[in-house]
Structure 1
Amino acid sequence: MEPVTVATTAATEIDGSVMEGGGQILRVSAALSCITGTAIKISKIRAGRSTPGLRPQHLSGLQLVSDLCSGSLQGASIGSTDISLTPGKIQSGNHTADTQTAGSVCLLLQVALPCAVFADASSQLCLKGGTNAEMAPQIDYTVKVFKPIVEKFGVHFDCDIRMRGYYPKGGGEVFVTVNPVKELQPVTMTERGNITKIHGRAFVAGVLPFKLAKDMSAAAVRTIRKEIKELYINIQPLQEKDKACGNGNGIIIIAESSTGCLFAGSALGKKGVYADKIGIEAAEMLLRNIRHNGCVDEFLQDQLIIFMALAKGTSRIRTGAVTLHTQTAIHIAEQLTQAKFTITKCEDELSSNVTYIIECQGSGAANLHL
């Protein structure tokens, strides 16, 4: 019998256990698969984690991407360690994803946003789950830090927080409108300048007392004051009443520099942990991210890799130590696009700071639907 030849290009195989080995590999590869039209096969998903395979939030993220690119998704079930995605045409319009847990809406946005940018018209994403969850950016980070910086690449989206949702139930809802672009611009961020402004929000939601918010805020201000004396620091204590589902408390503090760089420190309350401790944790995180003199904090670093890889031209971003998340995103981006990354160490003669320049010759992905 003659062998039947099927005219499909072999899927690109991705090892889900390499380097950081977590959900980020899924997000970067699924989004790039969708944008480049390359089928992918991811194996050993989250192999080293205490609960290996897909968790509800990873599953809803993959389903969202598959929905966005009218793709076909195999192996997508809770606990699955192997999936394959064959993308079709990217669809604008309305898309909904619901983690049905406190799984992060910000991580859903992370995977969907790059795809929606390459659609033929604007997209409306209704994302449900946790808005302020552990192990993920808080929605306030996404809006106040991530959004203004990705706008430099030409990515424009609006974010309407309809309901905040907290661990363990979630129940948050965020409505995002994304505008498509023809191609992304490269970005250069190499000069930090001085810190000019520090502000933030300390919140309590549900049954928790307002005093907690005031305590978190005061402790954070005290901690920052030890190191940064001259700036006015405004961390608003807030009681969330009507637009919050469940009980929670947390804080996010943002610093802005004279050149438009943004940095954040954040923390969420946990049972039995004093409010002061939460405030101090967030403040110390912020100070750590300001000290290295780079232009992005440790959390923005890896989130920008996919945009650098897709942009048309060379991007250069100065960072502190390069995180494993960032190295992982670069590894996947180079596998699925023509982008080329180089990391150079810069010694600063005047101080003990070591910073790195992440440079990328972008693949110049063009939006063929526009």
Structure 2
Amino acid sequence: NYGQKSVEMDGSIMEGGGQILRVTAALSCINGASIRIHKIRAGRSTPGLRPQHLSGLELVRDICCGNLEGGTVGSTEVTLTPGKIKAGKHTADPQTAGSVGLLLQVSLPCALYADGPSELCLKGGTNADMAPQIDYTIKVFKPIVEKFGVHFDCDLRMRGYYPKGGGEVVAKVNPVSELSPVTMTERGTITKIYGRSFVAGVLPYKLAKDMATTATRVIRREIKDLYINIQTLQEKDMACGSGNGIIIIAESSTGCIFAGSALGKKGVYADKVGFEAAEMLLRNIRHNGCVDEFLQDQLILFMALANGTSRIRTGPVTQHTQTAIHVAEQLTQAKFTVTKAEDENASNDTYIIECQGVGVTNPHF
């Protein structure tokens, strides 16, 4: 555990929210170093742990047979004392529409260092605001993180929407002996654009059509020569509650994957939802990076743990990414550098994030 016995982390710095908790808890679990996080979500309108954050911390505690102090909703200070990471079945259920994708974000890295395969049963919101939709996790995050040598299956059993939740995803994770570094510096050309526009519950199918039509029209203005295939769906049996949303994915000739997504809200026209998702996708293609703004920060932890140097070309470096780098450098010996990309394909906003990973090895292999 790099000679660290107990570490303090200020939960109010930088991004100052759930992300600090997730990166810190996962690294504490993997390092076997006890961690105290204080001032949790101090600047938020409802400070302290929300049910989904608590659920994530409890999940990590269970995976590493650890001890969690201060683990109550509203708590602004917790101490996680990890034990040995163990394989098997682990369940997390915040009993809200808290994001299933974020529960996976905190638990997946831990399960990689277990003594055998793990099954993570994650409940809550699968398509929730302010968090990666489960479609993003499966279609964008999964294939890219697998480049590090990660192998997991994601079985989407039930979709759940705000405010009810009720969604369920089962992730089966294989352990690794160590992670390999990844280089993604060539963007290539966009070769494929596809997506899914959905309504669930009581909402009319027309909304799905309207979101898809607007999104397609917006993308066509900029990318004229590609067939854009956005499926429209009405979810009946597979959904708990009502919701609507869209995710559009672009793939490049070099295997880069980008996405834009949006969820409907009460009183927001469907075409506005489609427009928002399309604009988000285009924004993430324009900067000529190899990952979109939402994948950036999710890869930092894996870069830090990998054995060797990773280099990833990105657009503007987000605050979430800066926060993840800060936490990773505090809790491991990984070294990150962020430099402006200077090649002929670079825009003003193209960067290279480089990391000398520490090569954490799984003691069970």
Query: Do they superpose with TM above 0.5?
Result: yes
Q: Which TM class, normalised by the smaller chain length?
A: over 0.9
Q: TM-score, normalised by structure 1?
A: 0.97
Mapped to 2, the partners of 1:348 and 1:303 lie a distance apart of 25
Distance 1:120 1:337 in 2: 22
Q: Which stretches in structure 1 are left out of the alignment for 5+ residues? A: 1-7
| Secondary structure in 2 matching 1:46 | coil
Does the alignment pair 1:83 with 2:78? yes
Measured at CA, do residues 187 and 352 of structure 1 come closer, stay the same or move farther in structure 2, by a change above 3 Å? closer
After superposition, the Cα gap between the structure-2 partners of 1:350 and 1:162, relative to the gap in structure 1 and judged at 3 Å, is closer
Shift of 1:348: 4.3
Q: d(CA) in 2 for partners of 1:350 and 1:183?
A: 33
Q: Which residue of 2 aligns with 1:206?
A: 201
Match for residue 254 of structure 2? Answer: 259
Equivalence for 1:122 = 117
Q: Is the 8 A contact 2:55 2:93 kept in 1?
A: yes
CA 1:173 to 1:225, structure 2 compared with 1: closer, same or farther past 3 Å? Answer: same
* Regions of 4+ moved over 6 Å: none
- Supply the AA of the counterpart residue of 1:11: S
Residues 1-370 of structure 1 aligned to structure 2 (within 5 Å): 10-349=5-344, 352-370=347-365
Aligned-CA RMSD value: 1.1
Cα separation, 2, equivalents of 1:218 and 1:71: 50
TM-score normalised over the length of structure 2:
0.98
Whether the aligned pair in 1 keeps the contact of 2:5 and 2:33 (CA below 8 Å) is no
Q: Please tell me whether the aligned partners of residues 190 and 294 of structure 1 are also in contact (alpha carbons under 8 angstroms).
A: yes
Between the two proteins, the alignment pairs up a number of residues equal to: 363
**Contact 2:288 2:347 (8 Å CA) reproduced:** no
Aligned partner of 1:178: which letter? V
**Structure 2 stretches lacking a partner, 5+ long:** none
Taking only the aligned residue pairs, the percentage that are identical comes to 79
Instruction: Please name the residue that 1:5 is paired with.
Output: none
Q: Distance in 2 between matches of 1:345 and 1:83?
A: 37
Note the C-alpha offset of 1:9: 6.5
Shift of 1:347: 3.1
Does the 8 Å CA contact 1:266/1:283 hold for their aligned counterparts? Answer: yes
- Tell me the amino acid that sits aligned with residue 232 of structure 2: P
Please give the secondary structure, in 2, of the residue aligned with 1:312: coil
Cα deviation for residue 14 of structure 1 reads: 0.3
* CA distance, structure 1, for counterparts of residue 268 and residue 141 of structure 2: 28
